[in-house]
Every structure is written in C-alpha cells, then in structure tokens.
Chain A
Amino acid sequence: MLVAGVDVGSLTVKAVILKDGEVAATTTLITGDDAATAARTAINEALKSLAERGVSATLDSLDYVVATGVGRKEVAFAHEVKTDVRCDAVGARHLFPSVRTVVDIGAESCKVIRLSKKGRVEDFTANDKCASGTGMFLDTLAKVIGVGVEKLGELSLKAKEPAKISSMCVVFAESEVISYIHKKTPVEDIIAGVHESISNRIFGMMNRVGIEKDVALVGGVARNVGVVRALEARAGENILVPEAPQIAGALGAALIAAKACEGGA
C-alpha cells in the first residue's frame, strides 16, 4: 500500500510517502507564488526518491493522498483535505505516543493543540494574520541582526544575559533590536532575547488551551534549539522535538491517508 500526505505551507511544501505504514520518502521545497505547481513538484520529487530506493511508482499508483496546510485546496491530486490541526495532532502523536500538547510554529502561523489521553483534539488556538510568534518574526529580526536564520539557535546558547525585548509586534521589536545593536549589546544576547520574546508569546497560547504533559514542538521553527530551550524554560516542561519537525503535518496527513485506505479495503 502506497499513500501520501502533502502539507502546503506558506513558505514550504512538504510531501511524505508511506509504504505499508512506514515512511518511504519525504521532500521539502519552497512554495513560491504558485502552490498548485509546488505541490505537484513536491510529490514528484518524493516519487523520484522512492524510485531510487527501488520502488517505482507514479502519482496514479498512490492509493490515497491527503492534503493539508494553508494551501491544501490547491492540491488537485488529493483525494481528501484535512485541517493542519488534525494532521499535526496525528503526526505528533505517531512520533510521540505520550503527547498531549502539540505546539506548531511555522513560517507564518503558530498553533497550540491540546489532545485527550486518546489523542483526540480537545482544544486549540491559532495565530492568524499576525507575524508575532511565527518564523517570520525570527526571519525579520535575523535580517536586522545580520545573522542567517539557521544560525540563531546555536548562537543564542552562548548568551550570557538575554536582552529584554518587550514588543511582540515585529515592527516594534525591530526598533528594540536596532537600539541594542547601537548600544553594542552582544549579538548572542540579542538573539536570546528574541527567542524569549517568541516563547512568551507561545507560552501565552499554551496557557489559553491549557498545558498537559507531554509537550511536543513541531514546525520548521522547532529546528531552532534556542527557541526550544527558551520555551522549555518558560513552560517549566521538557519539550519533545522530532528529528524532522517540519514534516509532522505531512506525516499526519499521510497517516490519515493510510487509515482511509485500510478502512476502504
């Protein structure tokens, strides 16, 4: 049985192919202005890497495809679409069966989902149309600081005294960061301050839905170890992070596809 999940995010498209319930191929690529084409390219790339492993398959030979993400309706070849919340929950739960709180920080959104003991979505809150608490917040401030966004995490771990950044709005935080740069505050301390600011925001959302252990962090920003540490310190909880946090939603979509297939068979 071959099934796929495609997660069309605002910045990247992720595709996951499952072969008999096991992850057989994954791809991540930039969404760009045309989500429909990007989704097709992503699934074709995943099929290609599947072929390299000796499993030849075409788009038509996939038994079931589930699409998710902000651009999920653009995926013409999907059999079904599911919300990000549902897919994040299924994906995170598969990776960490003990998870009750899932935090997803993506490029342009963030979500906190609370699950029941059995993994059903009990409550969730999402950040919509506001850049604070998202990858965009980090990206914008990284540019101001003059550091690549992928270096933020490691640098921040060297901070001695995190700079206090009180604004959550990117625009206002930008002015605060600039004034720290003028004051010659060490870059590591500024970055650590930025991470504290974003984790304050996420922690507030976690409080809104209620925090239940265990907590997992998924989405592209979870690759930033500085954000993970800051959020752990703020929440006073250990946070589980999968190896490839950005594909958790696509994985969830693929798992839902597999289930749909089994049900049909």
Chain B
Amino acid sequence: MMLVAGIDIGSLTAKALILEDSKIRAYAIIPTGVDSEGTSKKVMNSALERAELSLEDLEYVVSTGYGRVIVPFANKNITEISCHAKGAVFLFPSVRTILDMGGQDCKAIRCDASGKVQNFAMNDKCAAGTGRFFEIIAETMELPLEELGGLSLEAMSAAKISSACVVFAKSEVLALLRKGVDKKNILAGINEAVALRVFALLNRVGIEKDFAITGGIAKNVGVVRKVEEKVGLKALIAEEPQIVGALGAALFAKEALEQV
C-alpha cells in the first residue's frame, strides 16, 4: 500500500488530499488564514484525522498553490497549473481543456492525454471572475454566496453589465438595483460578463474537447451554464471541484515515488 498526499494552499482556501495507491482516501478543505504555514499543518492534520493516519504514514507529499513554498512537510512543490491538469485528467481521462476558477485567480490550461500541460494562461492580477468577485457581488446584492448560481438560472433576461471589473460591476449592480431590476436578471448579467472574460482567457490557449471546470466557482451553476454557452461544450465538473489541484499534487507525489 502506497500512501501519499497533495496539499494546495490557495489564496482563500487550503486543501489537502490523501491518496492510497490510486484511490482518494480522505480530503479536507479549510479557509486559508493569515499564517499560511499554520494553515498547511491544520488542513493536513484534518485530512489525516479523517483517514485515521499520521503524517509519518505518508511516504511523499507534494505542495501546490499560491502558498506552496511555505509548506514545511512537503517533499516537493509543483505549480498549480500542472497539478490542475494532472488532477482533471485523472478524474476525466478525455479532458484536454481546463478552466480553473479559484478564489483570486483564473487559469486556462490545455493538456495532453497524460495530463501534461501543453499551453496555459492565467490571470491573478485582476479579481474579475474570481471567488472574491462573487463574494463582493453577493454582499452588494445581500444574497448568500451559494444561492447566486441557482437564482441566476431563473432570470427572464440578462441585465446588461458592461464590465467584469469588480469595481465597475458593483456600481452597475447598485444602479440596476436602484432602477428596480430583478436580482435574478442582474445575476444573469454578471455571469454573462464573467463568462465573456474567461472565454477570452480560454481562447488564448485554444479550446479542445473535452472541457472541464475546476475550482470553487465550478459550484456556481449559473456561471457554468454561461461559460458552456460561450465555449459550445458541456463542462465536466468533479463532485468536489475544489480539490482537483490537491489531487493532482498527490498524483505527482505518487509518480515521484514510483520513479525511485
């Protein structure tokens, strides 16, 4: 039995996943605190607890994500680009294009059948279309974050939102609310603006079948539908889209052991 782990320290959430041979044994997701090192220990311990294991039982740990270099118990760190590709192809072997929509960034990745990255572009300079973007929209509209997607699907028509820039979108949302436009229609407009934005990123790397969306925003069904419309492909989405990066990291850990 081979036990390895992948740990993904993102800007908003940290994920840890334990792989037993080729099976996911346990995983954990917690918010990233100010102390990234402490967060990495906490999320790993939480996954270990669920797996009824201790850190010593793990033969190899690969870290990834924005905070990957500060994980004290990692044997190696690998970029989240490579990990998302690896993880997505493991879950859906036919996947060649991946859109990862995370807490503070967006990535478009094209890969081969082995999950090796062939082309990528990311944007972590701007909050448009990230988790942070939707947090602010939810706050502005006084709606729970997790309800945004479902509500937007009930829209009669999408309100016009001209920019995916958080600051501009927020003032446009406020103006639409003042005019009494239905919140559902506003949400549909927001999703449209975000979809346009990520579609441009996807076009940078080129879109090839099959297509998957990973990251926390993959849980927002409204955004997913709009992106699917633009791309013209159905999006494959993991049961837990937030752990795809950690899964990829764990798969790299497994490979590292097998090479020895």
Chains A and B directly touch (beta carbon < 8 Å): yes
Contact, CB under 8 Å: B127 / A171: yes
Contact, CB under 8 Å: B136 / A171: yes
List the A side residues contacting B104 at CB < 8 Å: 172
**Closest A residue, CB atoms, query B193:** A129
**Closest B residue, CB atoms, query A139:** B167
B30 → chain A closest CB, angstroms? 19
**Closest A residue, CB atoms, query B169:** A129
A155 → chain B closest CB, angstroms? 22
B13 → chain A closest CB, angstroms? 16
A248 → chain B closest CB, angstroms? 24
Q: Say yes or no: is B195 at the interface (Cβ < 8 Å to chain A).
A: no
Contact, CB under 8 Å: A129 / B164: yes
Q: Say yes or no: is B234 at the interface (Cβ < 8 Å to chain A).
A: no
B9 → chain A closest CB, angstroms? 17
Contact, CB under 8 Å: B132 / A171: yes
List the A side residues contacting B220 at CB < 8 Å: none
**Interface range on chain B (Cβ under 8 Å from partner):** 10 to 19
- For chain A, residues 115 to 172, give those with C-beta under 8 angstroms from any C-beta of chain B: 129-132, 136-137, 140, 167-172
List the B side residues contacting A169 at CB < 8 Å: 125-127, 166
A171 → chain B closest CB, angstroms? 4
Contact, CB under 8 Å: A171 / B166: yes
**Closest B residue, CB atoms, query A172:** B127
Q: Say yes or no: is A196 at the interface (Cβ < 8 Å to chain B).
A: no
Main secondary structure on chain A at its contact with chain B?
loop
Q: Mark B126-153, 1 if CB is under 8 A from A, else 0.
A: 1100001100100000000000000000
**Closest B residue, CB atoms, query A175:** B132
**Closest A residue, CB atoms, query B197:** A129
Q: How many A-B residue pairs have CB under 8 A?
A: 40
Contact, CB under 8 Å: B167 / A131: yes
Q: Mark A10-25, 1 if CB is under 8 A from B, else 0.
A: 0000000000000000
Q: Say yes or no: is A262 at the interface (Cβ < 8 Å to chain B).
A: no
Q: Say yes or no: is A33 at the interface (Cβ < 8 Å to chain B).
A: yes
- For chain A, residues 25 to 52, give those with C-beta under 8 angstroms from any C-beta of chain B: 33
Known: A33-B175, A171-B132, A171-B136. A129 touches B127 (CB 8 A): no
In the complex, A83 Cα to B165 Cα: how many Å?
23
A205 → chain B closest CB, angstroms? 15
- Identify the interface centre among B125, B132, B167, B175: most chain A CB within 10 Å of its CB: B167
In the complex, A129 Cα to B104 Cα: how many Å?
19
B200 → chain A closest CB, angstroms? 12
Q: Say yes or no: is B73 at the interface (Cβ < 8 Å to chain A).
A: no
B38 → chain A closest CB, angstroms? 17
Q: Say yes or no: is B92 at the interface (Cβ < 8 Å to chain A).
A: no
- Identify the interface centre among A140, A168, A169, A172: most chain B CB within 10 Å of its CB: A169
List the A side residues contacting B178 at CB < 8 Å: 33
Instruction: For A108, give its contact among B127, B166, B168 (CB under 8 Å).
Output: B168
Known: A171-B132, A171-B136. A129 touches B125 (CB 8 A): no
Contact, CB under 8 Å: B167 / A136: yes
Q: Say yes or no: is B163 at the interface (Cβ < 8 Å to chain A).
A: yes
A41 → chain B closest CB, angstroms? 20
Instruction: For A168, give its contact among B125, B162, B166 (CB under 8 Å).
Output: B125
In the complex, A136 Cα to B163 Cα: how many Å?
14
In the complex, A132 Cα to B136 Cα: how many Å?
17
Q: What are 28 A-B pairs with beta-carbon distances under 8 A?
A: A33-B175, A33-B178, A108-B168, A129-B162, A129-B164, A129-B165, A130-B163, A130-B165, A130-B168, A131-B165, A131-B166, A131-B167, A131-B168, A132-B126, A136-B167, A136-B168, A137-B167, A140-B167, A167-B125, A168-B125, A168-B126, A169-B125, A170-B127, A170-B167, A171-B132, A171-B166, A171-B167, A172-B127
A positions within 8 Å CB-CB of B: 33, 108, 129-132, 136-137, 140, 167-172
Q: A130-B165, A131-B165, A169-B125 are in contact. List 4 more A-B contacts (CB 8 A).
A: A131-B166, A170-B127, A171-B136, A171-B166
